């Protein structure tokens, strides 16, 4: 893999940096995104992550004007996979965050955006591709042992991917143990 997954369309984002020395990837962090909210299939996510979004193209874009963010991957509704940052580098997706007592999740996580709205359901091709990606990431990053949502690392600040995300389905597709997932997710099964 070498940090770039051959099954993904590569679109490099300038919004990245090096991981801190000794920071192994141990967390896959699941997000949801749509731009504008509730619209799928356009190029606005790509433009946001590459700093080429026309802020005047939609009223919502004025609310996010000037932000510089990225994620390692985006999984489209139809399962198409986009990659913006090598997994060996630090993408800018988590913001202020804590997972299992460790702050700054960007330092040790791979950010994966699912095209969708927090709280709404996701599509079967997204789960299939996400599970495939997680297995590939685990093969590339031996320390990867956790999967969580943005809502789990930034509670009260973030809600994604939200209650519409089927965690048991993902766990079943990955065939990973309960210990890899947040306790709140395990309790819902």
Residue 142, CA distances (Å) to 76, 84, 169 in order? 26, 21, 23
Q: Say whether 183 is catalytic.
A: no
Chain centre distance of CA 186: 20
Give the count of beta carbons closer than 10 Å to the beta carbon of residue 15.
20
Question: Are 110 and 41 within 8 A, CB to CB?
Answer: no
| Residue of 113, 115, 118, 151 marked active site | 113
Provide Rg for the chain, Cα atoms: 15
Please, what is the Cα angle at 157 between 126 and 152, to 5 degrees?
50
List the beta bridge partners of residue 82. Answer: 9, 74
Tell me the catalytic residues.
Answer: 113
């Amino acid at each position: 893999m070498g940090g770039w997954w051959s099954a993904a369309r590569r679109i490099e984002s300038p919004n990245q940096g090096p991981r801190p020395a000794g920071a192994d990837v141990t967390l896959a962090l699941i997000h949801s995104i749509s731009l504008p909210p509730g619209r799928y299939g356009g190029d606005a996510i790509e433009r946001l992550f590459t700093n080429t979004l026309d802020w005047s193209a939609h009223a919502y874009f004025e609310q996010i004007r000037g932000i510089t963010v990225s994620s390692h991957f985006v999984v489209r509704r139809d399962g198409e996979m986009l990659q913006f940052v090598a997994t060996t580098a630090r993408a800018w997706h988590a913001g202020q965050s804590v997972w299992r007592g460790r702050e700054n999740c960007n330092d040790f996580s791979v950010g994966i955006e699912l095209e969708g709205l927090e709280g709404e359901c996701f599509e079967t091709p997204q789960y299939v591709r996400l599970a495939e990606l997680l297995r590939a990431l685990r093969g590339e990053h031996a320390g990867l042992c956790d999967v969580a949502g943005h809502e789990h690392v930034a509670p009260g600040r973030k809600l994604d991917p939200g209650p519409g995300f089927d965690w048991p389905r993902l766990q079943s597709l990955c065939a990973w143990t309960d210990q890899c997932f947040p306790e709140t997710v395990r309790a819902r099964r």
